[in-house]
Structure 1
């Protein structure tokens, strides 16, 4: 009697934990942004530590306000880009769900990308609120979605470095 094949780790079931992580990051991102929108007016700021403030900033562009003053078309461009990236990431997760670091990275990027897409669709801008500064220099304000995307990107680089190292 032939033995039944087990489902590969790359099946839809194998990617469910990664989709759950992305959803958790998305919910946390949207919850924090809802709190900022509810308690802060545009430009309001609260000093938390000597190097960190909570603020309310609207970013009409992308990272570091890239294309923020482009006239409005960038909202739809970055929304389409985020949705296309999300579809590609889901496709990649389906194929590589068994690769833990790679899938963790993709899940972080997916949750963050969709968090910022929701902002663009709902508000026309991304809500940023984390303001780190030192000696008068302020890093551009960002949010949990941006943090998740950054962690994901760092993990993608780390995953590739480890993959190259193991192949030598």
Structure 2
């Protein structure tokens, strides 16, 4: 018969490591910041009714409801599937986080998890992700110069970029 203490130790080792608190703290901060900014933009600024607030010639606050994956790509009405994928990916990243030995790696994973879970909450509560930071160049409608996103998207992109940077640092050490 299996030793229940050993089984609990194995599960704990797979889900908790020395840098897990750091990563989960960063995840909580990015999640909280994103949800706070979304609340402010939607409820206080009332952007859904105002639609667009011009800030600069290249930046506006503009309300968009993203039913796609990232930056409106692969639009679908299967929000439940996207929520499930976000939760599964977040769980896998948590397992990676538990094995992390680098502070930068742990913080990067936290940014990604926080952003993914915040966007998943949007999908569950609102049926789509609230996007509102709109960068553009008037007259030019090129994909790289015309995009709308939110703080969770920024956390995910920065997290992935920092993971790549961390992997390059690790490769140079070898």
TM-score range, shorter chain: 0.7 to 0.9
Alpha carbons 1:42, 1:57 under 8 Å: kept: no
Report the TM-score, using the length of structure 1 for normalisation.
Answer: 0.85
Q: Structure 1: where are the runs of 5+ without partners?
A: 1-7
**1:43 and 1:156 mapped to 2: Cα distance?**
38
In structure 1, the residue matched to 2:80 is: 76
In structure 2, the residue matched to 1:40 is: 47
> Equivalent residues in 2 for 1:120-139 (5 A)?
120-137=123-140, 139=146
Query: How large is the RMSD of aligned CA atoms in angstroms?
Result: 1.9
Q: 2:62 aligns with which of 45, 55, 58?
A: 55
In structure 1, the residue matched to 2:92 is: 88
Q: 2:112 aligns with which of 109, 113, 122?
A: 109
In structure 1, the residue matched to 2:7 is: none
Q: 2:71 aligns with which of 64, 70, 76?
A: 64
**2:139 and 2:158 mapped to 1: Cα distance?**
26
**1:34 and 1:11 mapped to 2: Cα distance?**
32
Deviations 1:104-148 (A, max 9, x none): 110110110001000000011000010011243352210000000
The runs of at least 4 consecutive aligned structure 1 residues that moved more than 3 Å come to 10-14
Q: 2:168 aligns with which of 158, 161, 166?
A: 161
Report the TM-score, using the length of structure 2 for normalisation.
Answer: 0.82
Aligned residues: 155
